């Protein structure tokens, strides 16, 4: 994509990443926090693919595929934790989970 | 020319649906918004020449991972999310938005210092399964690839151990 270049793609990636950060820091529902983390991972993937295109190498795409594999593993374990949490506490609101508070 | 128009269009939709993920009240609406965001990101990947990554994005992310998310949301029957209204966003929300804003300033400052360079020319083979497969199985990424398979096995076993009532 010669007509766009690297910097607009990185700007889109940055906007998506910041949106994900805002979601992680402001939402209280554990599932939506999880989805915001997935959004951040995707923003980073977009950067990887953009840099791969910029340098004409395959490495960035390989890293994007690895990030997707790690995201799949994270989603499986994380959603199992959410189910366990809901079964024991009947809530997924993160504000109610202050058992570790000193 | 058309590539640029399509890129900005797809990116705009991706950003709008990404903001939707964070602002929607209903978790299901959030999850569907995230699926839409993933589809438009896949379109961006295809425009960037990463065809294999675009297909995997739709198969693995929009297909497998988001089905898992929606399945869990429906299983838990979370009809009432945390009602995010801008009246009761609270000090925590303000601090969160301020942190995100600071991060955005940092990112865009760094972005402004990048030199504008033209992308390297690539052949017709760029981004195909053949190119990625050779790098994964013949190149330096063979060991990381096998490690990822072990990671996925550990994750599946861990998820079953966590979510099962009695083993």
pLDDT of residue A88: 86
What does the alpha-carbon distance between residue B99 and residue A18 come to, in Å, rounded to a whole number? 9
Average pLDDT, chain B: 87
Q: Is B129 on the interface with A (CB under 8 A)?
A: no
* Domains of chain A with bracketed CATH: 6-96 (1.10.287.3510)
What value of ipTM does the predicted structure carry?
0.92
User: Under an 8 A CB cutoff, do A22 and B100 touch?
Assistant: yes
Average pLDDT, chain A: 89
> Residue A59: pLDDT above 80?
yes
How confident is the model over B80-98, as a mean pLDDT?
Answer: 69
How confident is the model over B126-152, as a mean pLDDT?
Answer: 90
What does the alpha-carbon distance between residue A59 and residue A70 come to, in Å, rounded to a whole number? 17
Contacts (Cβ under 8 Å, ≥6 apart) of B134: none
User: Under an 8 A CB cutoff, do B44 and A28 touch?
Assistant: no
What does the alpha-carbon distance between residue B120 and residue B49 come to, in Å, rounded to a whole number? 12
For residue B37, what pLDDT band results from cuts at 50, 70 and 90? very high
Q: Is B76 on the interface with A (CB under 8 A)?
A: yes
> Residue B142: pLDDT above 90?
yes
> Residue B87: pLDDT above 60?
no
How confident is the model over B138-156, as a mean pLDDT?
Answer: 92
Q: Which residue has the tokens 């929606």?
A: B70
Helix axes B142-163, A59-89, angle to 10 degrees: 10
How confident is the model over B138-150, as a mean pLDDT?
Answer: 92
Provide the H-helix boundaries in chain B.
2-23, 27-47, 51-56, 66-76, 90-112, 129-137, 142-163
What does the alpha-carbon distance between residue A21 and residue B23 come to, in Å, rounded to a whole number? 13
Q: How many helices (H) and strands (E) does chain A have?
A: 3, 0
What does the alpha-carbon distance between residue B4 and residue B1 come to, in Å, rounded to a whole number? 5
For residue B10, what pLDDT band results from cuts at 50, 70 and 90? very high
Q: Give the residue from B93, B115, B162 with the most A CB atoms within 10 Å of its CB, the best one to mutate.
A: B162
**CB-neighbour burial class of residue B158 (10 A; exposed 0-12, middle 13-18, buried 19+):** middle
How confident is the model over B119-137, as a mean pLDDT?
Answer: 85
For residue B86, what pLDDT band results from cuts at 50, 70 and 90? low
pLDDT of residue A87: 87
Concatenated DSSP letters for B84-104? --SSS-HHHHHHHHHHHHHHH
> Residue B167: pLDDT above 70?
no
Of B14, B27, B61, the CB nearest to A68: B61
> Residue B105: pLDDT above 80?
yes
pLDDT of residue B144: 92
Name which of A37-46, B109-118, B148-157 the model is least confident about: B109-118
> Residue B79: pLDDT above 70?
no
pLDDT of residue B36: 95
**CB-neighbour burial class of residue A6 (10 A; exposed 0-12, middle 13-18, buried 19+):** buried
How confident is the model over B72-88, as a mean pLDDT?
Answer: 67
């Amino acid at each position: 994509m010669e007509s766009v270049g690297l910097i607009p793609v990185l700007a889109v990636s940055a906007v998506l990443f910041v949106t994900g950060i805002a979601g992680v820091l402001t939402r209280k529902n554990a599932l939506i926090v999880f989805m915001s983390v997935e959004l951040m991972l995707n923003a980073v993937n977009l950067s990887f693919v953009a840099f791969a295109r910029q340098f004409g190498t395959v490495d960035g795409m390989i890293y994007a595929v690895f990030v997707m594999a790690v995201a799949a593993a994270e989603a499986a374990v994380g959603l199992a934790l959410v189910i366990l949490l809901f079964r024991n506490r009947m809530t997924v609101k993160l504000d109610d989970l202050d058992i570790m508070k000193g | 020319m058309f590539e640029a128009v399509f890129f900005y269009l797809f990116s705009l939709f991706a950003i709008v649906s990404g903001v939707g993920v964070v602002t929607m009240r209903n978790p299901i609406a959030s999850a569907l918004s995230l699926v839409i965001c993933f589809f438009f990101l896949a379109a961006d990947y295809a425009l960037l020449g990463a065809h294999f990554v675009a297909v995997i994005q739709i198969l693995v992310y929009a297909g497998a991972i988001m089905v898992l998310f929606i399945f869990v949301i429906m299983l838990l029957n979370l009809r009432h999310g945390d009602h995010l209204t801008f009246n009761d966003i609270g000090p925590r929300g303000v601090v969160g938005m301020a942190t995100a804003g600071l991060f955005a300033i940092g990112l865009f400052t760094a972005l402004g210092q990048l030199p504008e360079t033209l992308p390297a020319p690539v052949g017709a083979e760029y981004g195909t399964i053949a190119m990625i497969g050779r790098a994964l199985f013949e190149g330096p990424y063979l060991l990381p690839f096998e490690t990822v398979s072990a990671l996925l096995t550990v994750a599946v076993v861990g998820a079953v151990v966590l979510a099962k009532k009695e083993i």
